[in-house]
Amino acid sequence: GRYAELTKPEVIVGLGMFMESFERSPVSREYLLFRQERFTAEDLQRARHVSMWGSYSLHVYVRKDLCPQSGTPACSGLNEVTS
Protein backbone atom coordinates (compact mmCIF):
# COMPACT_ATOMS: atom_id res chain seq x y z
CA GLY A 1 0.00 0.00 0.00
CA ARG A 2 2.75 2.47 0.91
CA TYR A 3 4.61 2.16 -2.40
CA ALA A 4 1.38 2.80 -4.32
CA GLU A 5 0.60 5.84 -2.15
CA LEU A 6 3.99 7.37 -2.92
CA THR A 7 4.26 6.57 -6.63
CA LYS A 8 0.63 6.13 -7.83
CA PRO A 9 1.58 3.80 -10.70
CA GLU A 10 -0.71 3.55 -13.71
CA VAL A 11 -1.25 -0.20 -13.30
CA ILE A 12 -0.75 -2.55 -10.36
CA VAL A 13 -0.90 -6.32 -10.91
CA GLY A 14 -0.77 -9.04 -8.28
CA LEU A 15 -2.29 -12.18 -6.85
CA GLY A 16 -5.13 -11.74 -4.39
CA MET A 17 -3.38 -12.61 -1.15
CA PHE A 18 -0.51 -10.24 -1.94
CA MET A 19 -2.88 -7.35 -2.62
CA GLU A 20 -4.62 -7.30 0.78
CA SER A 21 -2.58 -4.40 2.17
CA PHE A 22 -3.17 -2.34 -0.96
CA GLU A 23 -6.90 -3.12 -0.94
CA ARG A 24 -7.20 -1.76 2.61
CA SER A 25 -5.30 1.44 1.83
CA PRO A 26 -7.10 4.69 0.94
CA VAL A 27 -5.18 4.94 -2.35
CA SER A 28 -6.96 1.80 -3.63
CA ARG A 29 -10.08 3.95 -4.15
CA GLU A 30 -8.20 5.73 -6.94
CA TYR A 31 -8.10 2.49 -8.96
CA LEU A 32 -10.57 0.27 -10.78
CA LEU A 33 -10.19 -3.43 -10.05
CA PHE A 34 -10.24 -5.96 -12.86
CA ARG A 35 -9.63 -9.67 -12.67
CA GLN A 36 -7.79 -11.44 -15.43
CA GLU A 37 -7.85 -15.21 -15.63
CA ARG A 38 -4.38 -16.70 -15.33
CA PHE A 39 -5.06 -19.49 -17.81
CA THR A 40 -6.92 -19.84 -21.08
CA ALA A 41 -9.62 -22.52 -21.31
CA GLU A 42 -7.17 -24.70 -23.24
CA ASP A 43 -4.51 -24.31 -20.54
CA LEU A 44 -7.01 -25.22 -17.82
CA GLN A 45 -7.67 -28.57 -19.49
CA ARG A 46 -3.97 -29.46 -19.25
CA ALA A 47 -3.09 -27.85 -15.92
CA ARG A 48 -2.73 -29.89 -12.76
CA HIS A 49 -2.89 -26.91 -10.42
CA VAL A 50 -5.06 -24.01 -11.46
CA SER A 51 -4.50 -21.86 -8.39
CA MET A 52 -1.33 -20.15 -7.29
CA TRP A 53 -1.21 -19.44 -3.57
CA GLY A 54 -4.99 -19.76 -3.51
CA SER A 55 -5.60 -17.33 -6.38
CA TYR A 56 -7.26 -18.30 -9.63
CA SER A 57 -6.90 -14.91 -11.27
CA LEU A 58 -4.66 -11.88 -11.33
CA HIS A 59 -5.89 -8.68 -9.76
CA VAL A 60 -5.29 -5.79 -12.14
CA TYR A 61 -5.74 -2.28 -10.76
CA VAL A 62 -5.89 0.55 -13.30
CA ARG A 63 -5.74 4.14 -12.14
CA LYS A 64 -9.16 5.70 -12.66
CA ASP A 65 -7.86 8.68 -14.63
CA LEU A 66 -6.58 6.25 -17.30
CA CYS A 67 -9.66 4.11 -17.40
CA PRO A 68 -12.73 6.06 -16.27
CA GLN A 69 -15.06 3.33 -17.56
CA SER A 70 -14.54 -0.34 -18.25
CA GLY A 71 -15.51 0.25 -21.89
CA THR A 72 -12.60 2.57 -22.66
CA PRO A 73 -9.85 1.25 -24.96
CA ALA A 74 -7.26 1.15 -22.16
CA CYS A 75 -9.45 -1.35 -20.32
CA SER A 76 -10.81 -3.45 -23.15
CA GLY A 77 -10.54 -7.16 -22.53
CA LEU A 78 -10.60 -6.76 -18.74
CA ASN A 79 -13.50 -7.69 -16.48
CA GLU A 80 -14.26 -4.99 -13.94
CA VAL A 81 -14.99 -6.14 -10.40
CA THR A 82 -17.68 -4.19 -8.63
CA SER A 83 -18.41 -4.52 -4.96
C-alpha span between 61 and 66 (Å, rounded): 11
Rounded Cα gap, residues 40 and 3, in angstroms:
31
Better-scored residue on pLDDT, 27 or 52: 27
Return the pLDDT at 9: 92
- The C-alpha atoms of residue 60 and residue 35 are separated, in whole angstroms, by 6
Contact call for residues 81 and 33 (beta carbons, < 8 A): yes
Over 70: is that where the pLDDT of 78 sits? no
Binning pLDDT at 50, 70 and 90, where does residue 14 land? Answer: confident
Q: Give the C-alpha distances (Å, rounded to integers) separating 57 from 8, 10, 38.
A: 23, 20, 5
